Amino acid sequence: MNQQTKYWNVDNIVDGLEDYPQIQEAAELLRRNELIAFPTETVYGLGGNGMEDETVEKIYTAKGRPSDNPLILHIADRMQLDELVSEVPPLGEALMEAFWPGPLTLVFPKKSGVAMRASAGLDTVAIRMPDHPLALALIQAARLPIAAPSANLSGRPSPTTAQHVLEDLDGRIAGVLDGGPTGIGVESTVVDITGDVPMILRPGGITAEQIAEITGEVAIDPGILSEEAAPKSPGMKYRHYAPQGQMWLVRGDTIEEMTKSIRNAARRAVEEGKKVGILATKETFREYDGEYTVITCGERRDLISVARRLYYVLRQFDQESVDVIFAETFPEGGVGTAIMNRLTKAAGGHYL
């Protein structure tokens, strides 16, 4: 796979983006069943025509992604939704009213026109309306629902800049629209609304607590941690978000215990001749004096800042060619649930 990957730098704060020549060129390539990477408010997505099985197969191939992992269709207006789903349950109406456009993906019963490959053969389809002017302009200009997983090689940390996309996919896709760094930094929350109770299939930018405020009740799918069943959502199966070095998550009853455990593990690894990385926070990074590559991912008192920098930091460890990474852990609840979901996947479930 070797093709020229075009690069467009697009100012994403100017009105009328869909009329920009760069957007029009990217939209035309999408209509010709080529693949285009573009920014959303969460991470960069790798977009293709969501109505064509052949194009969806190209997405799987470009990413090296397992084909039983469904994709999310991105839309720009309600008319597109009605063309894709057979029913919009009341739960869906309430959640769309509260959180669309935004980092919330909803799983609906699908109509027959949706590419079978996009839904991995399921009778449901995952759909969201991104809250990013460039993404919305591209969808509107293409006049297509765009199937778009994260724009990285499968298993790698998701991209939050156009440069991250090029590191993984240059020569494998038709183009990259650069709209600057993304804002949220972790993917959308995925919620199945086909049952009586909304079921979170992947934690993300919208928290369970926010959803419960709208629906009154919310459940967490145990399949988030299972490798057995066919996944109904991206991110439910396989190792994801992983840096190249072996990653270990370190717990502690207190922050002092956690940092002490990291220091001890890092010291042993250096004695074994390994280059060590430590994922820390602004509150703790001074605790790690030694021959270590220490990178901060935000502030413990502001977990949104941690989510925003998480994938960037994992890719920085790759740039530093570390052999092993010891990562601080965070309290679950709110956006902390999404952070720990991504860290657990990145570490392959390895805890000290």
Q: Look up residue 273 and give its two tokens.
A: 């001749």
202 is in an annotated binding site: yes
Residue 34 to residues 37, 76, 127, 132, 201: CA-CA distances in angstroms? 10, 19, 20, 21, 29
239 is in an annotated binding site: no
Q: Chain centroid to CA 251: how far?
A: 24
**In whole angstroms, what is the distance from residue 244 CA to residue 241 CA?**
10
Among 22, 341, 335, smallest CA distance to 184 is for: 335
**In whole angstroms, what is the distance from residue 165 CA to residue 182 CA?**
12
- Helices assigned H by DSSP within 87-242: 90-99, 133-142, 162-169, 208-215
**In whole angstroms, what is the distance from residue 241 CA to residue 243 CA?**
7
Among 153, 161, 142, 139, smallest CA distance to 42 is for: 161
241 is in an annotated binding site: yes
Q: Nearest 5 degrees, angle CA 193-CA 199-CA 202?
A: 110
124 is in an annotated binding site: yes
188 is in an annotated binding site: yes
**DSSP-derived secondary structure for 11-54:** -TTSS-GGGSHHHHHHHHHHHTT--EEEE-SSSEEEEEETT-HH
86 is in an annotated binding site: no
284 is in an annotated binding site: no
- Helices assigned H by DSSP within the chain: 21-31, 53-63, 78-84, 90-99, 133-142, 162-169, 208-215, 255-271, 303-319, 335-346
350 is in an annotated binding site: no
Q: Chain centroid to CA 295: how far?
A: 21
148 is in an annotated binding site: yes
Q: Look up residue 345 and give its two tokens.
A: 């996947």
150 is in an annotated binding site: yes
Beta strand 175-178 with 36-39 is parallel
* Binding site, annotated residues for ATP: 65, 69, 124, 150, 158, 202, 241
* Binding site, annotated residues for L-threonine: 42, 74, 128, 148, 188
* Binding site, annotated residues: 42, 65, 69, 74, 124, 128, 148, 150, 158, 188, 202, 241
